[in-house]
Amino acid sequence: MPSPGAPVPPRLPIEDSYFELLADTLESLDLSARGQFLQRYFRVIAHLDLRESQSVQIWDEMLARRRELTQLAGRQISLKTALTDVLSSSGLLRVPILIEYDELKRLELDAVTDPLTGLHNRRLFAETFDKELNRARRYTQPLALVTVDLHRFKEVNDQHGHPRGDDVLRAAAATLKKALRTSDSAFRIGGDEFALLLPQTDSAQALALSRRVQTVFAEMLQPLQLSVTVGMDQGIAIFPQDAEQAEQLIRIADERLYQIKHANHHKGGNGGARAQSVAAPEVSPPAPEPVASAAPRVSSAPPPISIETGRAPEKTETAMAAAAAASSAAISGDLVLPAPSRSFAVQRKAERVSMTGTNAYAVLGDQGARRARVLDLGFGGVAIELDSAEELPGNLLAVLHVPILPPVRVNLKPVWKQPTTQGGVRVGCAFVS
């Protein structure tokens, strides 16, 4: 016990105390156990693959170097300092830096992250694209590449200044993070250029996501109160439909993107009509709904029955128009879209996305006791299939689980139904607010 008035030795830092405890512990071990421990220890802290005898030799050299440095400096030298000196002087460490693991991971993350938007950068895009292509080839699955460019972004910088332009870029990044699945990836690859990688995504699904991204982006920009109408122009390329190599897919997506940009360059200014902002491979339109005809014909299934009238309409398009009039909620969940200005029968054929062949389903009711298959999906409504003919309420709460989108909570109004040849029933529902 030190005598009163004697100077109290300074408290060692935590990492130095750890080294001192380690040295005391190793002294009590036999040579074999010490060698095994030190071999693993140097592999972890310095990524060195040494023999057990080499590990013990370096540790002994470290203890001797500390005694030598302590005598030269006239004060106690830490074991960490002596170990660093031994490893660097022996050539085992080309850059003598010791760093905490958490700090190392943070530096690695910073190296592949865009500091302004928080998205991955161009460097990681190239690496991720190669990995996803290899995975798509191995499992024979589609892979969608979407290139994105902000329309009229330069005018934002010119009229509102670069800080507001940075706000627009952050809004674009927030839009992409909100719209994508956990398996998807978003990258900022240039000033106002972005790229999306969508595994297991075909052309129709990529097109649906792109339209959702545009809708969410418009909402994200509202608080900025810009005098310029900024949009997202997008080009889509699909593996293996369009090409099989990364360079070819990038070239095709860029060509489709700039076709849209060139078309929009000649459109009106703020608020003017724009060309469709997504360029994608041709998607085969779904087969039209059965239409009542004066001429008799053989039908594989009875015509659809209106839930409200209890009889078949003269044309299926009539029921579709009624569904459009009742719809006011978008697929995106909380976003409310204005009712379409043209007949839904025409618009739906262009905007409906078939879910056949996917695992899309709907959970029906407050308790989620019933499930239904989702057959197709559009901005105005959804078609579902039930295993048995059962009555549905006039206003039905449902949660949609479909590719690309996160689970979406919606209110459905059943508009028409049609028995299937398998004994079930197909129900057309409109979104209602």
Give the position of tokens 């074999």: 32
For residues 133 and 252, membership in a common domain is answered with yes
For residue 283, name the pLDDT band (cuts at 50, 70, 90): low
For residues 363 and 238, membership in a common domain is answered with no
Q: Radius of gyration of the chain from Cα atoms?
A: 32
158 within some domain: yes
Q: What is the pLDDT of residue 366?
A: 74
Residues 235 and 154 in one domain: yes
| Contacts by residues 353-362 (CB-CB < 8 Å, ≥ 24 positions apart) | 353/204, 353/205, 353/207, 353/208, 353/377, 353/378, 354/204, 354/286, 355/402, 355/403, 358/402, 358/403, 359/401, 359/403, 360/400, 360/401, 360/402, 360/403, 361/401, 362/398, 362/399, 362/400, 362/401
| Bridging pattern class, strands 396-401 and 425-432 | unpaired
245 and 344 both lie in a single domain: no
Please tell me whether residues 77 and 144 are part of one structural domain. Answer: no
Instruction: Return the higher-pLDDT residue of 421 and 300.
Output: 421
- CATH code where residue 168 lies: 3.30.70.270
Q: What is the mean pLDDT of the chain?
A: 76
Residue 94, pLDDT > 70, answer: no
How confident is the model at residue 288, as a pLDDT?
46
326/256 same-domain check:
no
- pLDDT value for 419: 85
Residue 169: the pLDDT is 94
The answer to whether 411 touches 368, Cβ cutoff 8 Å, is no
Lowest mean pLDDT among 71-75, 198-202, 309-313, 349-353: 309-313
Least confident of 125-134, 277-286, 335-344: 335-344
**CATH code for the domain in which residue 425 is found:** 2.40.10.430
Any domain includes 297: no
Residue ending a domain, among 56, 89, 122, is 89
Please identify which residue in the block is written with the tokens 């694209």.
129
In 241-399, where does DSSP find H-type helix? Answer: 246-265, 316-326, 344-351
- Residue labelled with tokens 């239904």: 372
Q: In this structure, are 56 and 126 located in the same domain?
A: no
Q: CA 420, CA 47: separation in Å to the nearest integer? A: 64
Q: Is residue 241 located within the same domain as residue 310?
A: no
pLDDT of the residue at 327? 37
Domain for residue 287, yes or no?
no
pLDDT of res. 348: 38
Does residue 296 sit within a domain?
Answer: no
User: Looking at residue 193, what is its pLDDT?
Assistant: 93
Could you report the per-residue pLDDT of 396-417, keeping only the tens digit for each?
A: 889 888 876 778 888 898 888 8
Res. 32: pLDDT tops 50: yes
Same structural domain for residues 84 and 130?
no
Is pLDDT above 60 for 309?
A: no
pLDDT (0 to 100) of residue 274: 56
* pLDDT digits 0-9 by tens, 138-197: 999 999 999 999 988 999 989 999 999 999 999 999 999 988 888 899 999 988 999 999
Do 21 and 164 lie in one domain? The reply is: no
Q: What does the alpha-carbon distance between residue 218 and residue 232 come to, in Å, rounded to a whole number?
A: 9
Per the structure, the complete domain to which residue 46 belongs is given by 14-89
Q: Is residue 104 part of a domain?
A: no
Asked if residue 67 is part of any domain, the answer here is yes
Q: What percent of the chain has pLDDT over 90?
A: 20
Say if 23 falls within a structural domain: yes
Reply yes or no on whether the pLDDT at 338 is more than 70. no
Is residue 193 domain-shared with residue 58, that is, in the same domain? no
What pLDDT score does 323 carry? 40
8 belongs to a structural domain: no
Token pair recorded at residue 4: 């009163």
Q: Are residues 128 and 260 in the same domain?
A: yes
Q: Say how many domains are in the chain.
A: 3
pLDDT of residue 289: 46
Over residues 217-259, the pLDDT tens digits come to 999 999 998 888 898 999 999 999 998 899 999 999 999 998 8
